[in-house]
Chains A and B, each alone.
Chain A
């Protein structure tokens, strides 16, 4: 954990809707001050998990503790966390200032204190002078800031954000993303956000948890889950790795030999685990780790270029190997590069170092 002490401890939490488990036996620890992402496709249970942290949904099994205090029986209005809802859920009959003051009034703070805190929040989200407006008089981006200010006004120990950028258009999203990161660094409290956008999760979060069908698949820093995926699902979900099926075929020192279905092709990957010969497994290799020449010794496959697309900063290729396997390769484009690139239909040698492949057993 990168954020120091544990703030939120989720222990064996499950939540059923009818017979289906929206969240199935999830255990997770989130540190104080950590920017944490819950990532997964829609319906994977990430929002349900967030709502259980907020107290808006009760777990059917397991427990949730915040800052050492057991929260299972604590109603949402007594939890030291606040939420930025996906639709923002701003009170339409209240002004921006009254929306932000709403939570502070529930605490019974004196009026001068509330006014000072509202002004401070308006400054934080750069909405000075708009306190008198009603939510319907604001743009989408401004509403999002009000929702953020309203949730932060109570100085929660953790801020929960449900798809905070989903309702914004693309340009605004990039801007809000960097503002969120800046505010989180400045306040130093934990931000836990739910997203289906892996790029968003990777670029914002200190650590992320990937969920699928209610199950927690992997937790780690963006680099860990990208470079060391624990399953074919993660390898494919994050950045669409090439996944090649094979069987364990003995060792070359630190390297594992992998026999593939392609006649005469044996691959090598660095893996320290002892895996019995003949065990079915998969090798995941990121497209950016492939070379389209024979420069690497460990893994070398002859193939034919089926597709090539120039995308400015990179070029993307699809290489067919032996009629059954297609590998994706991404090569950076540098200006003034002299070596000609293979054209569609050209024979190539695809190669990658043993360190670039990840051996997956599930």
Chain B
């Protein structure tokens, strides 16, 4: 029984995590060919090459796309934190009934498709969209504002889509926090802002880290939002990956990008683990 209980998740991980990863890694190590499938057989050791990785390192496009993705994801994560912290704090401090209602409102967007919600932003933001039409109609502007096909729209889309992933772990951390500790800080002479900085903020750190990772990691690999809301000026790595696969049919290059992205994203996870171990109370 015990073996079965342990074996089931292990089999699951092997089948759906390790196996695809090994396949992707294998594809990244062979050259692309014309045909079906569009890559040389990874089972033949004579086909093995690191060419895809050489291209990855050699072509500035990839490095720039990685950097763009990391920069945009980091900025969006920071904005999520700044908006999400007061939200989570207010929810954690609200009365029982209000708290449930506010939590429902945070989760509510998940009830519709993510894709549909991003399309909805297109309708709102485009030059003939609701916002521009309304502003022109009111006579506030004469030309449509450039609200879409740029980094602003990508940031907006990411912050909008991932904010709940920031709010929920922050809420969990703040809700657990003993309000008696804040009172103790007041009692010892700390003004409210000092008490927040030296007690509430450090004790909500696990929530800050968890929320930031939950936003940063998927935002880094995000494809739909830059594709629908972004412009051509600053491609994100997720979109480059998609282009390699479907437009260029260069599966080995796409696989190499995927492996590199995974390696880059494992780094913050490891940092998180280390921080948690050091900060464990």
B79 within 8 A of A: no
Contact B187 A92 (CB under 8 A): no
Extra contacts besides A77-B186, A93-B281, A106-B190 (16): CB < 8 Å: A76-B186, A76-B187, A83-B184, A83-B187, A87-B178, A89-B183, A91-B181, A93-B202, A93-B203, A103-B188, A106-B188, A106-B189, A107-B189, A136-B281, A151-B188, A154-B188
Contact A89 B178 (CB under 8 A): yes
A82 within 8 A of B: yes
**A143 to nearest B CB, angstroms?**
13
Contact A106 B194 (CB under 8 A): yes
Contact B281 A77 (CB under 8 A): no
- 8 residue pairs A–B, Cβ–Cβ below 8 Å: A55-B187, A56-B183, A76-B187, A77-B186, A82-B187, A85-B180, A89-B181, A93-B279
A268 within 8 A of B: no
Q: Across the interface, which residues of A come within 8 angstroms of B190, CB to CB?
A: 77, 102, 106
Interface size class, chain B: 10 to 19
**A360 to nearest B CB, angstroms?**
40
Q: Across the interface, which residues of B come within 8 angstroms of A151, CB to CB?
A: 187-188
Contact A102 B188 (CB under 8 A): yes
B172 within 8 A of A: no
Contact B189 A92 (CB under 8 A): no
B191 within 8 A of A: yes
Q: Contact mask A143-161 → B, CB, 8 Å, 1/0? A: 0000000110010000000
A56's partner among B186, B189, B198, B199 (CB-CB below 8 A) is: B186
Contact A75 B187 (CB under 8 A): no
**A32 to nearest B CB, angstroms?**
20
Q: Across the interface, which residues of B come within 8 angstroms of A54, CB to CB?
A: 187
**A283 to nearest B CB, angstroms?**
46
Q: Across the interface, which residues of B come within 8 angstroms of A75, CB to CB?
A: 186, 191
Which B residues between 131 and 186 are near A, CB-CB below 8 angstroms? 178, 180-181, 183-186
Residue on A nearest B195 in the bound complex, by CB: A77
**B14 to nearest A CB, angstroms?**
38
Residues of B within 8 A of A (CB): 178, 180-181, 183-191, 194, 198-199, 202-203, 279, 281
Residue on A nearest B190 in the bound complex, by CB: A106
Q: Across the interface, which residues of A come within 8 angstroms of B184, CB to CB?
A: 83, 85, 89-91
Residue on B nearest A98 in the bound complex, by CB: B198
**Most chain A beta carbons < 10 A, residue from B178, B184, B186:** B184
A270 within 8 A of B: no
**B45 to nearest A CB, angstroms?**
53
Q: Across the interface, which residues of B come within 8 angstroms of A87, CB to CB?
A: 178, 180
**Most chain A beta carbons < 10 A, residue from B180, B186, B202:** B186
**A275 to nearest B CB, angstroms?**
48
Are A154 and B178 also in contact (CB < 8 A) when A85-B184, A89-B183 are? no
Contact A103 B181 (CB under 8 A): no
Q: Across the interface, which residues of A come within 8 angstroms of B180, CB to CB?
A: 85, 87, 89
Contact B181 A77 (CB under 8 A): no
Residue on A nearest B198 in the bound complex, by CB: A102
Contact B186 A92 (CB under 8 A): no
Give Cα A56–Cα B186 distance, bound, in whole angstroms. 8
**Most chain B beta carbons < 10 A, residue from A54, A93, A151:** A93
Give Cα A233–Cα B220 distance, bound, in whole angstroms. 70
Q: Across the interface, which residues of B come within 8 angstroms of A56, CB to CB?
A: 183, 186-187
Q: Across the interface, which residues of A come within 8 angstroms of B181, CB to CB?
A: 89, 91-92
A251 within 8 A of B: no
Residue on A nearest B177 in the bound complex, by CB: A92
A228 within 8 A of B: no
Q: Contact mask A323-356 → B, CB, 8 Å, 1/0? A: 0000000000000000000000000000000000
Residue on B nearest A100 in the bound complex, by CB: B188
**Most chain B beta carbons < 10 A, residue from A75, A85, A90, A150:** A85
Give Cα A102–Cα B178 distance, bound, in whole angstroms. 17
Residue on B nearest A87 in the bound complex, by CB: B180
A173 within 8 A of B: no
**B205 to nearest A CB, angstroms?**
8
Give Cα A134–Cα B203 distance, bound, in whole angstroms. 14
Give Cα A214–Cα B62 distance, bound, in whole angstroms. 72
Contact B189 A103 (CB under 8 A): yes
Give Cα A92–Cα B205 distance, bound, in whole angstroms. 13
Give Cα A54–Cα B185 distance, bound, in whole angstroms. 12
Contact B186 A150 (CB under 8 A): no
Residue on B nearest A102 in the bound complex, by CB: B188
Q: Across the interface, which residues of A come within 8 angstroms of B178, CB to CB?
A: 87, 89
Give Cα A73–Cα B191 distance, bound, in whole angstroms. 15
